[in-house]
Amino acid sequence: MAAELLLLSEIADPTRFFADNLLSAEDWDRTLYNCLDEVTEDQVQLFRCLEQDVPFDSGSVDMNVNITSPEPPWDPLPIFPDLQVKSEPSSPSLSFESSLLFKEPLSQVSVGEEVLGVKIESPSSPHCLLGKVLKPSFGAVQISVGFTPDDPSDIQTKTESISSSSSPSSEASLLSEEFPSKPFVEEEALGLKKESPAPQLCLLGDVLTSPFGSVQINVGPNPDGPSVSSGSSVVLFQGPVQVQPPVGEGSASSTPRLERKSIVPAPVLGTPCLPEVDAKVLKRQQRMIKNRESACQSRRKKKEYLQGLEARLQVVLSDNQQLRRENAALRRRLEGLLAENSELKFGSGNRKVICVMVFLLFIAFNFGPVSINEVPPAPASPQMGREESWPQRHLLEFSEQGVVTGQDTQGIPLGHKESQPRPAAGQPYFKNLTTFSKGAKELFLRDLDQFFLSSDCRHFNRTESLRLADELSGWVQRHQSGRKRSSQLRKIREKQKFHQWKKPPPAWSVPPRPSGPPERDSVSQLQLYHHPRHPQPEFLDAIDRREDTFYVVSFRRDHLLLPAISHNKTSRPKMSLVMPAMTPNETLSGRGNTGDYEVMMQIECEVMDTRVIHIKSSTVPPSLRKQPPPPSGNASGNPLPSTPSSSRQTPHQPFYLGHP
DNA sequence: CCTTAAGAGCGTCATCTCAC
DNA sequence: GTGAGATGACGCTCTTAAGG
């Protein structure tokens, strides 16, 4: 009863894998060899339970054993009403012996020369047969054993041989399908573990002592059939055994299960005894059983692991969702706080401060001195002092009279225009040296200062800028003064030529080049562009004239171009303008030529930008336009095509400097 | 009701790993 | 090196749901 309770508990707890059901090697060996030793002993009680419950009659030929199991103290199946016992598939490795014993249809087993028929009228399935399955419908197990009456000893011997040859697992698997690896639990419950030499006998005892239903063993008077020794309590089978599934209960599926049930490597049943039983087979069986359990355990562990992983995954996913929600909420809160903070930061108070600062900056830049380096010069005249009390930028333009002068933004000319003697009509008007040097110098300085302050020339030396401005202004003035003289001389010449050639002088101030060798004539020198009659605004627009830039415009293509040999990529490209110049002491009558030297002005520039512009030919002043080549070559004095040699030979090409 | 595919469970074998 | 345990691979059976 305790064993059955244990059995129930084990069934109830599927996680427990009946590790204690395993026989140790000593148990196996002891059982096996005890069986071998006790083969001849009559005390071997293969069916002790049977003996106790149903005493066999040795003389009975047809033994009908009705084993009525005692009523279980518990409900027949209150615990597992739907418990289904699953059959074990046959092991391929064991198929040989197993099929030999049990795979015959309906347990028709041939044992050696004899046929042992065991008819089991049992309940539902062979699994329940052993009482492992606590089915209430456990009916009667009827075992029909046919025996040979004349030789009962053979029966015993052969039965014992069979029983001992069959490994414990065989019977276990035969009768206990549900727990094939646990053959001795039942034995232990029946108190047969120690005494029973062959576990398979306990198997039968198990059946017979099953409290469920009745086990009926019919031993028929089969002369060729098995015999049961009745003298002792040991039931020995010899001959054919028929295991009949319960009539009407054995399903089609249950039958093959029964066939596959045995996993015992059947010994050569014809052999009389167990010495042939190979220990290797037993060990193999042991190992198989253990491996089966281990596999089950491993699968259970794996399943649990996977379930644990799935559970963790669910938890992590839920946590992730919650964290996402929290993250979104925090983001929204952060955005709200940022918006609120920005409102506070750029609120009315700060905005007021910013507006005040902007206003102050506006005032500072619009009403403060433009140049922070130089105090505005004292006004030369009351008017000028009034108008230039605040130094401002001035537009530079040509006057109608050809005077290049500066005007303030209101168009009022700068400098002492009133004090300048007006030239005669038709004469190009230039400011005198003094006036120019005062007004233009200031203008130059202011422009240069503004230019270099606004540009990136942060390391520009102011002293150097003053020097450059002086040089440029002096250069321009010299050309201007020289222009006067040259114009006078030209007029004289034109008059002479007019008288000679009856040709009117050109309208423009630029006379044709004098013939002959280069002459130190102002005409061939750098010329200031002016148009006495038309300001040529189209032309100035075409060149995109800026107020703060000197221009050298040349329509003659005889200038010498020397490309740079190397270029520093970290600085702007530099350009040097070299053009005829006059020293202050020389005159335009040829004295500028100091012996064998040409006096030239070299202007070092940094190229700010280059672009190709297209000037409409009609907008070009006629005097600047290309003049048709004279019919008589260079003798006419026209510029030659620009070649270095030719330009060197004609260094005094007309350059036109548009300056303020 | 029968057939079929998918999934689950199990047994067995082979292999690997670890302890002795 | 050997034995034992763990585990993957393979095959088998059973169960169940879906479809005809």
Question: Domain residues of chain A, as ranges?
Answer: 279-363, 530-580
C-alpha distance across the termini of chain A, in Å = 130
Find the range with the poorest average confidence among A275-284, A332-341, A502-511, A596-605: A502-511
Please give the C-alpha separations between residue A545 and each of A346, A540, A550, A552, A658, in angstroms, as whole numbers: 45, 6, 9, 11, 9
Predicted confidence (pLDDT) per residue in A287-346, tens digit:
888 888 888 888 888 888 888 888 888 888 899 999 999 999 999 999 999 998 887 766
What is the per-residue pLDDT for A334? 94
Sign of CA dihedral A422, A423, A424, A425: negative
Q: List protein-proximal bases of chain C (any atom < 7 A from a CB).
A: 4-9, 11-15
Residue of least CA–C1' distance to C7: A298
Q: Is strand B less than 7 A from the beta carbon of A563?
A: no
CB contact at 8 A, A465 and A449? yes
Which residue has better confidence, A589 or A552? A552
Q: What pLDDT was estimated at residue A541?
A: 77
Estimate in Å the CA A47 to C1' B12 gap, whole number: 32
The most confident of the ranges A151-155, A497-501, A593-597 is: A593-597
- Residue A82 CA and nucleotide C19 C1' are separated, in Å, by 30
Nucleic strand C under 7 Å from the C-beta of A298:
yes
Contact flag, residue A207 CB and nucleic strand B, below 7 A: no
| Nucleic strand B within 7 A of Cβ A288 | yes
- What is the reported pLDDT for A491? 59
Protein CA at A268 to nucleotide C1' at B5, angstroms: 42
Say what the pLDDT of residue A219 is: 34
Whether CB of A302 is under 7 Å from strand C: the answer is yes
- Which two structure tokens, joined as six digits, stand for A489? 């001389």
pLDDT for position A437 = 46
CA of A88 and C1' of B19: distance in angstroms?
33
Q: Tell me, what's the pLDDT at A326?
A: 96
- The larger pLDDT score, comparing residue A92 to residue A476, is at A476
Nucleotide nearest to A90 (CA to C1'): B11
What is the percent of chain A with per-residue pLDDT over 90, rounded to a whole number?
Answer: 3
Answer yes or no: is A253 CB < 7 A from strand C.
yes
Question: Which nucleotide minimizes the distance between its C1' and the CA of A287?
Answer: C4
A591, pLDDT greater than 50: no
Q: Between the CA of A256 and the C1' of C18, what is the distance in angstroms?
A: 28
A303 touches strand B (CB under 7 A): yes
Any idea which of A283-297, A566-580, A616-630 has the lowest mean pLDDT? A616-630
A39 touches strand B (CB under 7 A): no
CA A208 to CA A65: how far, in whole Å? 9
Does A86 contact strand C, using a CB cutoff of 7 Å?
Answer: yes
- Return the SS3 of A138: coil
A290 touches strand C (CB under 7 A): yes
Residue type present at position A583: T
Length of chain A: 660
A295 contact to strand C (CB, 7 A limit): yes
Q: Is the CB of A86 under 7 A from strand B?
A: yes
Looking at residue A224, what is its pLDDT?
35
Residue of A112, A118, A119, A206 lying closest to A161 (CA atoms): A112
**Residue A297 CA distance to nucleotide B13 C1' (Å):** 17
Residue % of chain A over a pLDDT of 70: 21
Can you tell me which residue has its alpha carbon closest to the C1' of nucleotide C15? A86
Rounded CA–C1' distance between A89 and C13, in angstroms:
7
Cβ-count burial of A104 within 10 angstroms (0-12 exposed, 13-18 middle, 19+ buried)?
A: middle
7-46 on A, CB < 7 Å from strand C: 25
What is the secondary structure of A217-277 as a DSSP string? EEE---TTS-----SSS-----S-EE-PPPTTT--TTHHHHHHHH--S----TTS-SGGG-
A283 touches strand B (CB under 7 A): no
pLDDT at A577 over 70: yes
Strand B bases with any atom < 7 A from protein Cβ: 9-14
Q: CA-to-C1' distance for A24 and B19, Å?
A: 20
Q: Report residue A615's pLDDT band, with 50, 70 and 90 as the boundaries.
A: confident
Contacts of A117 (CB under 8 A, 6+ apart): A107, A108, A109, A144, A145, A146, A220, A222, A225, A226, A239, A240, A241, A242, A243
